[in-house]
Structure 1
């Protein structure tokens, strides 16, 4: 994890491997962004021209390296594009700062220390830059071959330390912004580690053990239901999905409480540690990344721990519905009927529609505590990826105002999301001749059908939302901004922001 510090030191005297500055697209060419005045002065005010000569335009994600000017104790200047220049007197977009910091941190992999002189107008900007650095510097190398002396992994190590110039170490707001950024990004990167861990090392039992360790470290109560307890409790959905695996399922409950809390939120995460599709086996080419099917549970774990670390005045309960979906002689078959924890029966028409089954049990369990709101997070449907692409998650809810609040929270923290409907006419497609409901409905609008299925298992009168993160949870392409290849940890920041807004009384 990259160490983050604040400094009011002058750029020329700071010892680091590089100094990062911002550059924007101006009407007549690149423009040096605020924060880089000392560097520009050392270039006699001609830094923008030098950058343009080197091909820089200020486009978002662009990186230009040049030697540091004489008198600087850093050997390198790294100019990172921020995109279009803001209008006069307008502040820089927080997400643009976050992404630029992430790009720079990735470009400086292998460096011990870098100074970031990006535009900082307030504590929020500082927090955005800090988040971008910590998330952009992430790498997952636990399974890389070690060199002969076992002191380092092959490849470049992530940036070790980042100093944010312009930050005020003694300012309470700046200190709080840095502390928040550290807590949220460290937990988000924990989620990324879990998502990237191979399924042979992260079955439901192992995941539950990680959650238990994290919970105890941060004063969170934890309860783990194993197969025996799940059977006694009648959790037919979780047990049915896990029936085909040698690794038994688990339901983990994490409870963070505050003596000043006036509201209670429940977060529910889909935790399929590997999804083969079960008897409805996935075709070749669709199995290789299915270790990521527990991204929802990873996000919930990370969010609850982050809330605890921030000490927010809201009660938060996290539910991790963990199972491995495998084909075997004991696996649930298409045509089987499961009796869920709620008492409802479900005809299983497709065993690859398993996420909704484990979530249904966890949603009903969460409902028994009558929280003020429940949010579930899941890599649930390929249909949502077809609708929204690989970078945007869908939001469905039984309350339009709550759906809008979640959308605003997601956009505020830089997680692209889009509100989706729950059309009642699609419910009829899940009618079953022998059970209360089937786990499949109409093919068209499949992501919405899944949301309608989940709604059936939310307690009456409880506000609920469903985040389908199938698209952005796992990045199979190249890294961009502060997003790495592999597990992304999407939805963690949205959940944390929702908890903050609830603690502050900004949600009804």
Structure 2
């Protein structure tokens, strides 16, 4: 775990293994960002010129290493691009700071201590730098036996944030928030990256119980016997083909002064083979990530507890392994859901909506002020929005807009999507109340309409389809690593904060 410290020391005097500064574009000129004045002085005012000779432009995602000159206590200077320099009097955007800090932290894997001298004229800017650095420092090495491989990827051990006042309550609070949010996002990443032979539904539930004891959360686990007794046909139907039985986990954080309750429901398919409707070759290898929604929900509840938010946050994790076998649910089978509705299963690879339907019905029984479900639900959403943007659907346009704006605020790409009523007819079944498949075109919207069928009357609900950004298969960028990303955790935490404040 990467340590975070706030320091009023000067960039030239603090001892560290590396010193991170910002540079930006001002027209065709490279300029040194505020916070790096002492470093520029050590280069006799020629830091920008030196960097330009090395090809630096100040663009976002760019990082340039330079040996430190005499006068600096750190042996290495890392200049990271912030993009276009703001107009006079304006600040750098928090997302640009977050990404720049993440880029530097990734570059410094294996380093003990780095001092970040980026522009932090306000607490929110300090929080963005801290969050980006801690997210960028993430590495998953639990399954690598070779010590040299581990050492190369070992996270940056300590982030020293220069310009942030350690005795100022606002700066201290911003840093503490950044640390909690980043560490819980990294908790979600760890779970997503775990191989499915270790992260079974039972193992996931056990991890929640362990964290519950540590953070004072109330945890209830329904095993296969309790699920059978309760009539959770959706979760049981999806898990029927696996030797690892399903679980429904309720994890709750409560605050004595809370006036509102936010329920979060996460899809937790710990491995998705597609079931009898087996996925084609090339589509199975990353399906350990199909529990990313449940990981995000779990991490958010823990973050709410760590931050002491004045809102009740209840997480529901619908955990199952979708496997083909002689006991697996078949296309054509009819499942009786926890709500009492019957569902004709036309495709066993449309399983996420089945486990979510049971969990949503159960969550509605507690009459929360709002419910948000999170799921790697459909490939159709990836086709619509790409690999970095999640879709938002809701039964309340204002709530959908609010979540979209929150996501943009915290730096997560999202887009509001409709729930067209005309697509509902495609799920009509001659045998059951509804089928789990409808029209192929608009499949992501069809899935949202299916989930809406299981929302209680009068309850505000939103659905986040994070199928695109939940698992990153390309090269790392900014603070985003290869593998599990922890998508939507930051959005959900901010939603909980604003719900506590009565602003949503």
TM-score normalised per structure 1? 0.98
Q: Does 1:284 align with 2:285?
A: no
**Secondary structure of the equivalent of 1:12?**
coil
- Whether the 8 Å contact between 1:39 and 1:69 is mirrored in structure 2 is no
Q: Per-residue deviation at 1:133?
A: 0.5
- Runs of 4+ off more than 2 Å: 152-156
Alpha-carbon distance between aligned partners in 2 of 1:96 and 1:330, rounded to the nearest angstrom: 51
2:152 alignment counterpart: 155
- Aligned residue number for residue 108 of structure 2: 108
Q: Give the one of 371, 391, 394 matched to 1:397.
A: 394
Contact 2:106 2:136 in 1 (8 A): yes
Give the superposed CA RMSD. 0.9
Partner residue in 2 for 1:197: 194
Q: Does 1:503 align with 2:494?
A: no
Matched, 1:177 2:174: yes
Q: Which residue of 2 aligns with 1:240?
A: 237
Superposition deviation, residue 71 in structure 1 = 1.7
Residue 146 of structure 1 deviates from its aligned partner by 3.5
Matching residue of 1:345? 342
Give yes or no for the alignment of 1:364 onto 2:361: yes
Alignment correspondent of 2:11? 11
How much does 1:42 deviate?
1.6
For 1:394, what is the secondary structure of its paired residue? strand
- Structure 2 residues not aligned, in runs of 5+: none
Aligned to 1:312: 309
| Residues 429 and 441, structure 1, Cα contact 8 Å, conserved in 2 | yes
User: Any idea what SS the aligned residue of 1:11 has?
Assistant: coil
Gaps of 5+ in 1: none
Kept in 2, the 8 Å contact 1:145–1:154? The answer is no
| CA apart distance, 1:467 | 0.1
The residue aligned with 1:354 is 351
Q: In structure 2, what is the Cα distance between the partners aligned to 1:260 and 1:182?
A: 24
Residue in structure 1 matched with residue 255 of structure 2 by the alignment = 258
Deviation at 1:110, TM superposition (A): 1.0
Q: Is the 2:139–2:153 contact (alpha carbons within 8 Å) kept by the matching residues of 1?
A: no
- How far apart are 1:153 and its partner, in Å? 2.7
How far, CA to CA, are the matches of 1:208 and 1:352 in structure 2?
A: 23
Shift of 1:147: 3.6
Larger mean Cα displacement after TM superposition, 426-435 or 46-55: 46-55
Aligned length: 504
In 1, distance between residues paired with 2:91 and 2:374?
33
| In the alignment, structure 1 residue 47 sits paired with structure 2 residue 47 | yes
Alignment counterpart, residue 404 of structure 2, candidates 399, 402, 407? 407
Cα contact 2:110–2:151 (8 A) shared by 1: no
Is 1:488 the counterpart of 2:471 in the alignment?
no
Quote the Cα distance in structure 2 between the aligned partners of 1:226 and 1:385. 33
Query: Aligned to 2:12, what secondary structure does the other structure show?
Result: helix
Contact 1:333 1:351 in 2 (8 A): yes
Indicate if the aligned counterparts of 2:92 and 2:119 stay in contact, CA closer than 8 A. yes
Please say if residues 100 and 132 of structure 1, whose CA atoms lie closer than 8 Å, have aligned partners that are also in contact: yes
Question: 1: CA distance between counterparts of 2:123 and 2:11?
Answer: 20
Q: State the match for 1:67 in structure 2.
A: 67
Displacement of 1:156 in angstroms is 3.3
Query: TM-score scaled by structure 2?
Result: 0.99
- Deviation at 1:154? 5.1
Report what 1:335 is aligned to: 332
Shift of 1:172: 0.2
- Partners of 1:242 and 1:404 in 2: how far apart? 35
- Asked if residue 188 in structure 1 is aligned to residue 180 in structure 2, the reply is no
8 Å CA contact 2:185–2:489 kept in 1: the answer is yes
